[in-house]
A and B are shown apart, each in its own frame.
Chain A
Amino acid sequence: MEFQSCVKIINEWDIVAARQLGRNVAKELGFGTVDQARITTAISELARNIYLYAGRGSVCIEKEYEHGKSGMKIIASDEGPGIQDIRKVMEDGYTTSGGLGAGLPGVKRLMDEFDIDSFPSKGTTITTIKWLR
């Protein structure tokens, strides 16, 4: 692993810190303004989910290289309650917070790769990648 940078998510200000880190790395990697906005927004949603549902966790950013492609990987993990029904949270419009977050389907659309690992009462890890075009 060449590079990893993490932000602990404990309060609302950490959401701002996480997306600023994400935007800086995206810029550095050479993403255009639209992809920078996609990445920043995705991080903001993931960090907010941690803050809302788990209380605390972390957002880590890695530079990713694979088959001559380069990109940016975001790993959002927490030790919160876990997601009861992953299929359900991936449906558009599903909410348990009264519509505070746009939810995971939105994040999936903003990014290129998206993966959830969640175990009830153990926590959730969401890994998502945006490739540089």
Chain B
Amino acid sequence: MRIPILKLYDYLLVSIQWELDDATALGFQEDLLQKIHDTSANGVVIDLTSIDFIDSFIAKVLGDVLSMSKLMGAKVVITGIQPAVAITLIELGISLEGVMTALDLEKGLEKLQQELGE
């Protein structure tokens, strides 16, 4: 199954709604980069409100997609990380350092606007 990527003005919005398996996560990585290229988006919000756990593989895919987007000139904000997800990620030893985050989609968009000076 593919994760829908929506365009909103100069941004792309992604809401991950179901548990990610490896193939979906890797497919999403390619789809997002292609979409950044096709739409010239300069900001991306990835919302994880519906995600109830993140293991090291998904964390790595997310971290990689952030670095890859940065290489293409797009900034990414991750939003909606649940308390249980934040706790398990840190206990697991993954801190996702340098990743821009915000509490929810709305604050994520505000953060992007600030970052991009719009």
A residues adjacent to B (C-beta < 8 A): 12-13, 15-16, 19-20, 23, 33-34, 36-38, 40-41, 44-45, 48, 92-93, 99-103, 105-107, 109-110
Contact = CB atoms under 8 A, between A and B. Distances in A.
Given A33-B84, A34-B87, A92 B93 contact: yes
Contact of A41 (B22, B54, B60): B54
Contacts of B88: 34, 37-38, 41, 110
Nearest to B20: A16
B87 to A, nearest CB: 5
Interface in B23-47: 23
A16 B92 CA distance: 18
Contact of B23 (A12, A36, A92): A12
A103 B60 CA distance: 13
* Interface of B: prevailing SS: helix
A101 B91 contact: no
- Chain B: interface size category: 20 to 34
A37 B53 contact: yes
A39 to B, nearest CB: 9
Contacts of B87: 34, 37-38
Given A37-B85, A100-B60, A110-B91, A12 B21 contact: yes
Contacts of A15: 21-22
